[in-house]
């Protein structure tokens, strides 16, 4: 039995300790917002925050996060009360297929938590690790800068 803290709630799972965190989140905890992309830690679709740091959940054994705070896209906002990042992505029409969006949002949240007023270059560097084939990169950058302003960073 492993005890996890996911989205502020203590949870217990009976997964093999070597099971990737992604599978535990999706299959055991029903948190399907985090996506499986490549399974190799290269695309970023599975990005979650562990103690505020962006990590690839497809490559991280669940035992590695025991006792640490895990935040998924579900832990940020809801359709009724979206997080400023989620609201800004909608306002800028920065979401196409949406598959990479959870990873982008989590990577963006991590940089805004560290650097409330990032430059465009800093932001692009932070989001560079999450791959998107829809071609909305400029809109995503505008959305995150908008969110930073909304959150008091700009």
pLDDT tens sequence across 83-123: 999 999 999 999 888 889 999 999 999 999 999 999 999 99
Cβ–Cβ < 8 Å for 72, 29: no
Whether pLDDT at 134 is above 90? no
Task: Give yes or no: residues 16 and 60 share one domain.
Answer: yes
Closest-CA residue to 115 (of 127, 103, 98):
127
pTM summary value = 0.93
Cβ–Cβ < 8 Å for 13, 65: no
Closest-CA residue to 48 (of 79, 12, 7, 2):
7
pLDDT at residue 82, as a whole number: 95
The domain in which residue 15 lies consists of 2-74
Task: Give yes or no: residues 28 and 55 share one domain.
Answer: yes
In a domain, 79, yes or no: no
Task: Give yes or no: residues 14 and 68 share one domain.
Answer: yes
* pLDDT (mean) for 48-67: 97
Of 43-52, 73-82, 125-134, give the lowest mean pLDDT range.
125-134
Sign of CA dihedral 58, 62, 63, 66: positive
The two three-digit tokens of residue 60, written as one number: 């991280």
Contacts of 3 (CB under 8 A, 6+ apart): 10, 11, 12, 66, 67
> Domain tally for the chain?
2
Confidence of residue 154 (pLDDT cuts 50, 70, 90): very low
- Give the three-state DSSP class for 67: coil
* pLDDT (mean) for 129-145: 90
Q: How many CB atoms lie within 10 A of CB 32?
A: 14
């Amino acid at each position: 039995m492993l005890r996890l803290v996911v989205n502020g709630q203590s949870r217990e799972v009976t997964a093999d300790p070597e099971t990737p965190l992604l599978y535990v989140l999706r299959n055991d905890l029903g948190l399907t917002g985090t996506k499986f992309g490549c399974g190799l830690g290269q695309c970023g679709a599975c990005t979650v925050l562990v103690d505020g740091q962006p990590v690839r959940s497809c490559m991280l054994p669940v035992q590695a996060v025991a006792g640490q705070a895990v935040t998924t896209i579900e832990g940020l906002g809801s359709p009724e009360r979206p997080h400023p990042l989620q609201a800004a992505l909608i306002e800028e029409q920065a979401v196409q297929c949406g598959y990479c969006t959870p990873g982008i949002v989590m990577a963006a949240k991590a940089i805004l938590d560290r650097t409330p007023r990032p430059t465009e270059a800093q932001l692009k560097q932070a989001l560079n690790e999450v791959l998107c084939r829809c071609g909305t990169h400029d809109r995503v950058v505008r959305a995150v800068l908008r969110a930073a302003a909304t959150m008091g960073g700009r």
